């Protein structure tokens, strides 16, 4: 009696699958390689590798760091800061942080080029539209902070600071 013929298609090898995948996703692979290069340039690949390899040793280091004297206070402060920023509109925060970044870059440029401020320049700044806008934002921020401090003081929620 004859045996039935069975057909089993040949499965592609790993190299063939890799070649096919690379051909289908060339753009994505090139972008991923660029990202990997940027991460390597900033030293992040080594750090990420250490995190992945760290396992229980990493947990031990984290627990040791948490036992440091100011660690709990730092974590609480960070959480409180995150909670406070949670009430700020993202667009407003992005606008202000972008402007602060621009200001820091301008300040760094002036320091790098050793530019000094003259008395005449200081007086002229009051007529400068950009400086006037920044001063207006700072005055508004100071008023808001002052109002918030006064309200907390009046309601008795201002904590006593033991040390700075």
Number of domains in the chain: 2
Pairwise CA distance, residues 154 & 150, whole Å: 6
Pairwise CA distance, residues 9 & 6, whole Å: 10
Task: Let me know whether 150 and 132 are in one domain.
Answer: yes
Task: Let me know whether 93 and 115 are in one domain.
Answer: yes
Q: For residue 140, is it within any domain?
A: yes
Q: For residue 112, is it within any domain?
A: yes
**Confidence (pTM):** 0.40
Q: For residue 109, is it within any domain?
A: yes
Q: How confident is the model at residue 36 (pLDDT cuts 50, 70, 90)?
A: confident
Helical H runs in the chain? 14-24, 26-41, 44-66, 71-86, 90-112, 119-125, 129-154
**52, 46 in Cβ contact below 8 A?**
no
Q: For residue 106, is it within any domain?
A: yes
DSSP string, 4-47: PP---PPPPPHHHHHHHHHHHTHHHHHHHHHHHHHHHHTTHHHH
pLDDT of 30 above 70: yes
Q: For residue 50, is it within any domain?
A: no
Q: For residue 100, is it within any domain?
A: yes
Q: For residue 71, is it within any domain?
A: no
Domain that holds residue 133: 126-156
Q: Which of 12-16, 125-129, 157-161 has the lowest mean pLDDT?
A: 157-161
- Give the mean model confidence (pLDDT) for residues 119-130: 87
Q: For residue 131, is it within any domain?
A: yes
Pairwise CA distance, residues 10 & 15, whole Å: 14
Burial class (CB in 10 A: 0-12, 13-18, 19+), 45: middle
The predicted pLDDT at position 122 comes to 84
CA-to-CA separations, 33 to 30, 40, 41, 107, 149, in angstroms, rounded: 5, 10, 12, 35, 50
């Amino acid at each position: 009696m004859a045996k039935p013929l069975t057909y089993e298609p040949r499965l592609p090898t790993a190299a063939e699958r890799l070649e096919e995948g690379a051909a289908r996703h060339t753009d994505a692979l090139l972008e991923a390689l660029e990202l990997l290069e940027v991460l390597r340039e900033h030293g992040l690949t080594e750090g990420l590798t250490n995190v992945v390899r760290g396992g229980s040793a990493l947990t031990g280091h984290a627990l040791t760091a948490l036992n440091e004297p100011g660690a709990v206070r730092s974590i609480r402060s960070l959480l409180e800061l995150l909670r406070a920023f949670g009430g700020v509109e993202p667009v407003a925060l992005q606008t202000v942080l972008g402007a602060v970044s621009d200001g820091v870059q301008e300040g760094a440029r002036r320091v790098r080029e050793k530019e000094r401020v003259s008395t005449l320049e200081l007086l002229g700044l009051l007529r400068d539209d950009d400086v006037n806008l920044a001063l207006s934002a700072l005055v508004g921020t100071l008023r808001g902070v002052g109002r918030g401090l006064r309200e907390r003081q009046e309601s008795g929620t201002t904590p006593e600071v033991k040390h700075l």
